[in-house]
Amino acid sequence: MSAFSLGLPKGMTNMRQTLLHSRSNFICNSFSSFKFNSLRFSCFNLLVFQPKTSGFCNVVHAIKGGDEVILKAIGDKNSIEAVKNILEMARRALTRKEVYHTDFLTPPVLRDAMFALEKLSDVEAVSQGGYPQAERCRLSIGCPEAMSNVPDIVAALSITGNFGFEPCSHGDFLGAVLGTGIAREKVGDILLQGEKGAQVIVVPELVDYLRSSLVKVGNVTVSCNQIPLLALEFQPPKTKSFKTVEASLRVDAIASAGFKVSRSKLVDLISNGDVRVNWNPATKNGATLKTGDTVSISGKGRKAG
Protein backbone atom coordinates (compact mmCIF):
# COMPACT_ATOMS: atom_id res chain seq x y z
CA MET A 1 0.00 0.00 0.00
CA SER A 2 1.50 3.31 -1.03
CA ALA A 3 1.26 5.95 1.65
CA PHE A 4 2.48 9.38 2.57
CA SER A 5 2.27 11.49 5.71
CA LEU A 6 2.05 15.19 6.40
CA GLY A 7 4.09 16.13 9.45
CA LEU A 8 2.38 17.60 12.50
CA PRO A 9 3.75 20.67 14.29
CA LYS A 10 4.95 19.92 17.76
CA GLY A 11 2.23 20.35 20.39
CA MET A 12 -0.67 19.74 18.00
CA THR A 13 -3.04 17.17 19.50
CA ASN A 14 -5.93 16.71 17.06
CA MET A 15 -4.23 14.35 14.63
CA ARG A 16 -6.48 12.87 11.97
CA GLN A 17 -5.33 9.95 9.92
CA THR A 18 -7.54 9.15 6.98
CA LEU A 19 -7.81 6.45 4.39
CA LEU A 20 -8.67 6.76 0.73
CA HIS A 21 -8.99 4.01 -1.82
CA SER A 22 -9.49 3.82 -5.56
CA ARG A 23 -13.31 3.78 -5.30
CA SER A 24 -13.22 7.02 -3.35
CA ASN A 25 -14.37 5.70 -0.01
CA PHE A 26 -12.90 7.65 2.89
CA ILE A 27 -12.68 5.82 6.19
CA CYS A 28 -11.53 7.33 9.46
CA ASN A 29 -10.81 5.39 12.60
CA SER A 30 -9.34 6.29 15.94
CA PHE A 31 -7.32 5.12 18.88
CA SER A 32 -6.92 6.88 22.19
CA SER A 33 -4.63 9.89 22.61
CA PHE A 34 -6.12 11.44 19.45
CA LYS A 35 -4.19 9.06 17.21
CA PHE A 36 -6.25 7.92 14.24
CA ASN A 37 -5.50 4.61 12.63
CA SER A 38 -6.53 3.75 9.05
CA LEU A 39 -8.85 0.82 8.59
CA ARG A 40 -10.72 -0.28 5.48
CA PHE A 41 -14.08 -2.09 5.73
CA SER A 42 -15.41 -4.33 2.98
CA CYS A 43 -18.87 -5.86 3.02
CA PHE A 44 -17.46 -8.68 5.11
CA ASN A 45 -15.11 -7.11 7.61
CA LEU A 46 -17.60 -4.29 8.19
CA LEU A 47 -19.85 -7.04 9.51
CA VAL A 48 -16.95 -8.69 11.34
CA PHE A 49 -17.16 -11.74 9.10
CA GLN A 50 -14.41 -13.67 7.44
CA PRO A 51 -15.00 -13.70 3.65
CA LYS A 52 -15.13 -17.01 1.81
CA THR A 53 -14.09 -17.47 -1.80
CA SER A 54 -17.67 -18.31 -2.77
CA GLY A 55 -18.83 -14.83 -1.71
CA PHE A 56 -20.65 -16.12 1.40
CA CYS A 57 -20.45 -14.54 4.82
CA ASN A 58 -20.30 -16.71 7.89
CA VAL A 59 -23.49 -18.13 9.38
CA VAL A 60 -25.02 -16.30 12.32
CA HIS A 61 -26.66 -18.18 15.15
CA ALA A 62 -29.11 -16.03 17.08
CA ILE A 63 -30.75 -15.64 20.46
CA LYS A 64 -34.05 -14.22 21.64
CA GLY A 65 -35.02 -10.56 21.79
CA GLY A 66 -38.11 -8.39 21.32
CA ASP A 67 -38.51 -6.39 18.10
CA GLU A 68 -38.97 -3.04 19.83
CA VAL A 69 -35.84 -3.50 21.89
CA ILE A 70 -33.89 -4.67 18.86
CA LEU A 71 -34.99 -1.78 16.66
CA LYS A 72 -34.25 0.81 19.34
CA ALA A 73 -30.67 -0.44 19.46
CA ILE A 74 -30.11 0.26 15.76
CA GLY A 75 -28.00 3.38 15.40
CA ASP A 76 -28.90 4.17 11.79
CA LYS A 77 -32.53 5.30 11.82
CA ASN A 78 -32.68 5.02 8.02
CA SER A 79 -32.34 1.24 8.36
CA ILE A 80 -35.16 0.63 10.83
CA GLU A 81 -38.04 -0.01 8.41
CA ALA A 82 -35.97 -2.35 6.26
CA VAL A 83 -34.72 -4.24 9.31
CA LYS A 84 -38.28 -4.54 10.65
CA ASN A 85 -39.34 -6.20 7.39
CA ILE A 86 -36.37 -8.57 7.55
CA LEU A 87 -37.29 -9.59 11.11
CA GLU A 88 -40.82 -10.38 9.93
CA MET A 89 -39.36 -12.40 7.07
CA ALA A 90 -37.21 -14.35 9.53
CA ARG A 91 -40.22 -15.27 11.65
CA ARG A 92 -42.15 -16.46 8.58
CA ALA A 93 -39.17 -18.56 7.60
CA LEU A 94 -39.10 -20.17 11.06
CA THR A 95 -42.84 -20.82 11.09
CA ARG A 96 -42.86 -22.46 7.66
CA LYS A 97 -39.45 -24.13 7.96
CA GLU A 98 -38.42 -22.48 4.69
CA VAL A 99 -35.61 -20.26 3.48
CA TYR A 100 -36.43 -16.68 2.50
CA HIS A 101 -34.23 -14.33 0.50
CA THR A 102 -34.04 -10.55 0.64
CA ASP A 103 -33.30 -8.25 -2.26
CA PHE A 104 -29.88 -6.60 -2.40
CA LEU A 105 -29.26 -4.59 0.76
CA THR A 106 -27.05 -1.55 1.22
CA PRO A 107 -24.11 -1.99 3.62
CA PRO A 108 -25.78 -0.12 6.52
CA VAL A 109 -29.01 -2.14 6.22
CA LEU A 110 -27.03 -5.38 5.91
CA ARG A 111 -25.03 -4.52 9.02
CA ASP A 112 -28.10 -3.62 11.05
CA ALA A 113 -30.06 -6.63 9.78
CA MET A 114 -27.33 -9.01 10.91
CA PHE A 115 -27.25 -7.29 14.28
CA ALA A 116 -31.02 -7.70 14.62
CA LEU A 117 -31.05 -11.33 13.49
CA GLU A 118 -28.52 -12.17 16.18
CA LYS A 119 -31.26 -11.44 18.70
CA LEU A 120 -33.70 -14.01 17.32
CA SER A 121 -33.78 -17.61 18.43
CA ASP A 122 -32.94 -20.48 16.06
CA VAL A 123 -32.25 -18.28 13.05
CA GLU A 124 -29.41 -18.59 10.61
CA ALA A 125 -28.53 -15.99 7.98
CA VAL A 126 -26.12 -16.15 5.07
CA SER A 127 -25.07 -13.14 3.00
CA GLN A 128 -24.17 -13.34 -0.69
CA GLY A 129 -22.81 -10.56 -2.85
CA GLY A 130 -21.02 -12.55 -5.53
CA TYR A 131 -17.45 -11.89 -4.37
CA PRO A 132 -15.69 -11.32 -1.02
CA GLN A 133 -15.53 -7.51 -1.08
CA ALA A 134 -19.12 -7.03 -2.31
CA GLU A 135 -20.89 -4.00 -0.84
CA ARG A 136 -24.47 -4.77 -1.82
CA CYS A 137 -25.52 -8.25 -0.65
CA ARG A 138 -28.61 -10.43 -0.32
CA LEU A 139 -29.54 -12.39 2.79
CA SER A 140 -30.85 -15.94 2.98
CA ILE A 141 -32.73 -16.49 6.26
CA GLY A 142 -34.15 -19.65 7.78
CA CYS A 143 -33.96 -22.28 10.52
CA PRO A 144 -30.77 -24.35 10.72
CA GLU A 145 -32.39 -27.44 9.18
CA ALA A 146 -33.57 -25.52 6.12
CA MET A 147 -30.26 -23.69 5.70
CA SER A 148 -28.15 -26.79 5.16
CA ASN A 149 -27.99 -26.26 1.40
CA VAL A 150 -28.43 -22.62 0.37
CA PRO A 151 -28.31 -22.06 -3.41
CA ASP A 152 -26.66 -19.13 -5.17
CA ILE A 153 -29.08 -16.22 -5.00
CA VAL A 154 -26.98 -13.86 -7.11
CA ALA A 155 -25.87 -14.07 -10.74
CA ALA A 156 -23.24 -12.22 -12.78
CA LEU A 157 -23.52 -10.59 -16.19
CA SER A 158 -20.76 -9.32 -18.46
CA ILE A 159 -21.65 -6.16 -20.40
CA THR A 160 -19.22 -5.67 -23.28
CA GLY A 161 -18.89 -3.10 -26.06
CA ASN A 162 -16.47 -0.68 -27.68
CA PHE A 163 -15.87 1.69 -24.79
CA GLY A 164 -12.43 2.79 -25.99
CA PHE A 165 -13.69 6.07 -27.48
CA GLU A 166 -16.57 6.63 -25.08
CA PRO A 167 -15.74 5.51 -21.54
CA CYS A 168 -18.77 4.94 -19.32
CA SER A 169 -19.00 5.40 -15.58
CA HIS A 170 -20.59 3.34 -12.82
CA GLY A 171 -23.61 5.62 -13.07
CA ASP A 172 -23.87 5.07 -16.83
CA PHE A 173 -24.02 1.29 -16.43
CA LEU A 174 -26.42 1.50 -13.49
CA GLY A 175 -28.65 3.89 -15.40
CA ALA A 176 -28.72 1.60 -18.43
CA VAL A 177 -29.69 -1.40 -16.30
CA LEU A 178 -32.39 0.50 -14.41
CA GLY A 179 -33.57 1.96 -17.70
CA THR A 180 -34.81 -1.48 -18.70
CA GLY A 181 -37.38 -1.24 -15.90
CA ILE A 182 -35.52 -3.12 -13.18
CA ALA A 183 -35.75 -1.85 -9.59
CA ARG A 184 -32.51 -0.78 -7.86
CA GLU A 185 -32.83 -3.43 -5.16
CA LYS A 186 -32.56 -6.16 -7.81
CA VAL A 187 -29.05 -5.01 -8.76
CA GLY A 188 -25.89 -5.59 -6.74
CA ASP A 189 -22.39 -4.28 -7.32
CA ILE A 190 -21.08 -3.10 -10.68
CA LEU A 191 -17.43 -3.84 -11.45
CA LEU A 192 -16.00 -1.52 -14.09
CA GLN A 193 -13.54 -3.02 -16.59
CA GLY A 194 -12.40 0.02 -18.51
CA GLU A 195 -12.58 -0.35 -22.28
CA LYS A 196 -14.05 -3.85 -21.97
CA GLY A 197 -17.22 -2.68 -20.20
CA ALA A 198 -18.42 -3.91 -16.82
CA GLN A 199 -19.61 -6.90 -14.82
CA VAL A 200 -22.93 -6.55 -13.03
CA ILE A 201 -24.40 -8.67 -10.25
CA VAL A 202 -28.17 -9.17 -10.28
CA VAL A 203 -30.87 -11.50 -9.00
CA PRO A 204 -30.85 -14.72 -11.08
CA GLU A 205 -34.46 -14.44 -12.26
CA LEU A 206 -33.63 -11.29 -14.26
CA VAL A 207 -30.67 -12.68 -16.18
CA ASP A 208 -32.61 -13.67 -19.32
CA TYR A 209 -34.54 -10.41 -19.31
CA LEU A 210 -31.39 -8.29 -19.19
CA ARG A 211 -29.67 -10.38 -21.84
CA SER A 212 -32.42 -9.48 -24.29
CA SER A 213 -33.30 -5.96 -23.07
CA LEU A 214 -29.97 -4.29 -22.38
CA VAL A 215 -28.64 -3.15 -25.77
CA LYS A 216 -26.97 0.20 -25.03
CA VAL A 217 -24.96 1.92 -22.33
CA GLY A 218 -24.81 5.61 -23.15
CA ASN A 219 -24.27 5.68 -26.90
CA VAL A 220 -22.36 2.38 -26.96
CA THR A 221 -24.05 -0.73 -28.34
CA VAL A 222 -23.44 -3.62 -25.96
CA SER A 223 -23.92 -7.34 -25.59
CA CYS A 224 -24.94 -8.82 -22.26
CA ASN A 225 -24.09 -12.40 -21.27
CA GLN A 226 -24.15 -14.42 -18.09
CA ILE A 227 -20.81 -15.47 -16.61
CA PRO A 228 -19.94 -17.72 -13.64
CA LEU A 229 -19.47 -15.95 -10.31
CA LEU A 230 -15.90 -17.27 -10.27
CA ALA A 231 -15.24 -15.27 -13.45
CA LEU A 232 -15.85 -11.95 -11.69
CA GLU A 233 -12.76 -9.75 -11.91
CA PHE A 234 -12.24 -7.81 -8.72
CA GLN A 235 -9.28 -6.48 -6.82
CA PRO A 236 -8.93 -5.19 -3.29
CA PRO A 237 -9.08 -1.39 -3.47
CA LYS A 238 -5.76 0.41 -3.48
CA THR A 239 -5.31 2.57 -0.43
CA LYS A 240 -3.41 5.71 0.47
CA SER A 241 -3.03 6.95 4.02
CA PHE A 242 -1.94 10.36 5.23
CA LYS A 243 -2.03 12.60 8.26
CA THR A 244 -3.63 16.00 8.60
CA VAL A 245 -4.46 18.37 11.44
CA GLU A 246 -8.08 19.54 11.70
CA ALA A 247 -9.88 21.50 14.40
CA SER A 248 -12.80 19.05 14.53
CA LEU A 249 -14.28 15.84 13.11
CA ARG A 250 -16.85 17.73 11.01
CA VAL A 251 -17.58 15.92 7.76
CA ASP A 252 -16.74 19.00 5.67
CA ALA A 253 -13.34 19.34 7.35
CA ILE A 254 -12.29 15.70 7.24
CA ALA A 255 -13.67 14.96 3.77
CA SER A 256 -12.10 18.14 2.40
CA ALA A 257 -8.70 17.00 3.61
CA GLY A 258 -9.23 13.39 2.61
CA PHE A 259 -10.37 14.05 -0.96
CA LYS A 260 -8.21 17.17 -1.46
CA VAL A 261 -11.30 19.25 -2.21
CA SER A 262 -11.71 22.83 -0.98
CA ARG A 263 -14.10 23.39 1.92
CA SER A 264 -16.34 25.59 -0.23
CA LYS A 265 -16.48 22.93 -2.96
CA LEU A 266 -17.20 20.26 -0.37
CA VAL A 267 -20.10 22.32 1.00
CA ASP A 268 -21.55 22.54 -2.52
CA LEU A 269 -21.19 18.78 -2.96
CA ILE A 270 -23.05 18.19 0.31
CA SER A 271 -25.81 20.58 -0.77
CA ASN A 272 -26.16 18.71 -4.07
CA GLY A 273 -26.46 15.35 -2.31
CA ASP A 274 -23.12 14.09 -3.70
CA VAL A 275 -21.60 13.30 -0.31
CA ARG A 276 -22.63 10.20 1.62
CA VAL A 277 -21.74 9.07 5.12
CA ASN A 278 -22.10 5.33 5.58
CA TRP A 279 -23.96 5.24 2.25
CA ASN A 280 -26.56 7.75 3.46
CA PRO A 281 -26.66 11.33 2.05
CA ALA A 282 -24.90 13.86 4.26
CA THR A 283 -27.39 16.64 5.01
CA LYS A 284 -25.35 18.96 7.23
CA ASN A 285 -21.88 20.41 6.73
CA GLY A 286 -21.25 20.26 10.47
CA ALA A 287 -22.20 16.61 10.96
CA THR A 288 -19.58 14.94 13.15
CA LEU A 289 -17.84 11.78 11.98
CA LYS A 290 -17.04 8.98 14.35
CA THR A 291 -14.75 5.99 14.40
CA GLY A 292 -15.34 3.66 11.44
CA ASP A 293 -17.47 6.05 9.35
CA THR A 294 -17.22 5.80 5.58
CA VAL A 295 -17.57 8.91 3.40
CA SER A 296 -18.14 8.72 -0.35
CA ILE A 297 -18.23 11.50 -2.95
CA SER A 298 -19.91 11.03 -6.32
CA GLY A 299 -17.59 11.55 -9.27
CA LYS A 300 -14.43 10.77 -7.29
CA GLY A 301 -13.88 7.30 -8.73
CA ARG A 302 -17.15 5.89 -7.47
CA LYS A 303 -20.72 7.02 -7.62
CA ALA A 304 -22.66 5.88 -4.58
CA GLY A 305 -25.85 4.05 -5.55
Q: Are residues 272 and 244 in the same domain?
A: yes
- Asked whether residue 76 falls in the same domain as residue 124, the answer is yes
pLDDT digits 0-9 by tens, 20-32: 333 334 344 332 2
> Is 103 in the same domain as 32?
no
Confidence at 43, pLDDT banded by 50, 70, 90: very low
For 69-87, what is the mean pLDDT? 79
Looking at the structure of the chain, the number of domains it has is 3
Report the pLDDT value the prediction gives residue 299, as an integer from 0 to 100: 61
| Amino acid 53: pLDDT | 35
Is 2 a member of any domain? no
92-135 pLDDT, tens digit each? 999 999 999 999 999 889 988 998 898 887 899 999 999 998 99
Domain assignment present for 31: yes
The span from the CA of 57 to the CA of 59, in Å, is: 7
Mean pLDDT of 281-304: 72
Q: Has residue 171 been placed in a domain?
A: yes
Say whether pLDDT at 68 is over 80.
no
Q: Report whether pLDDT(56) > 90.
A: no
Same-domain status, 248 and 217: no
In this structure, is residue 268 part of a structural domain? Answer: yes
The CA-CA-CA angle for residues 62, 120, 69, to 5°, reads: 125
Domain contains 9: no
Assess if residue 97 is contained within a domain: yes
- What's the CATH code of the domain at 253? 3.10.290.10
CATH number, position 190 = 3.30.70.330
So what's the pLDDT on residue 237?
65
Give the CATH number of the domain where residue 143 resides: 3.30.1370
Secondary structure of the chain in the HEC alphabet?
Answer: CCCCCCCCCCCCCCEEEEEEECCCEEEECCCCCCCCCCCCCCHHHHCCCCCCCCCECCCCCCCCCCHHHHHHCCCCHHHHHHHHHHHHHHHHHHHHCCCEECCCECHHHHHHHHHHHCCCCCCEEEEECCCCCCCCEEEEEECCCHHHCCCCCCEEEEEEECCCCCCCCHHHHHHHHHCCCCCHHHEEEEEECHHHEEEEEECHHHHHHHHHHCCEECCEEEEEEEECHHHCCCCCCCEEEEEEECCCCEHHHHHHHHHCCCHHHHHHHHHCCCEEECCEECCCCCCECCCCCEEEECCCCCCCC
Mean pLDDT comparison of 67-76, 129-138, 239-248, 249-258, highest-scoring range: 129-138
**Domain termination residue (choose one: 228, 253, 274):** 228
Range of the domain at 177: 155-228
Task: Tell whether 233 is covered by a domain.
Answer: no
Looking at the fold, whether 224 and 246 belong to one and the same domain comes out as no
Confidence at 245, pLDDT banded by 50, 70, 90: confident
Residue 6 inside a domain? The answer is no
Q: Please give the pLDDT value at position 300.
A: 62
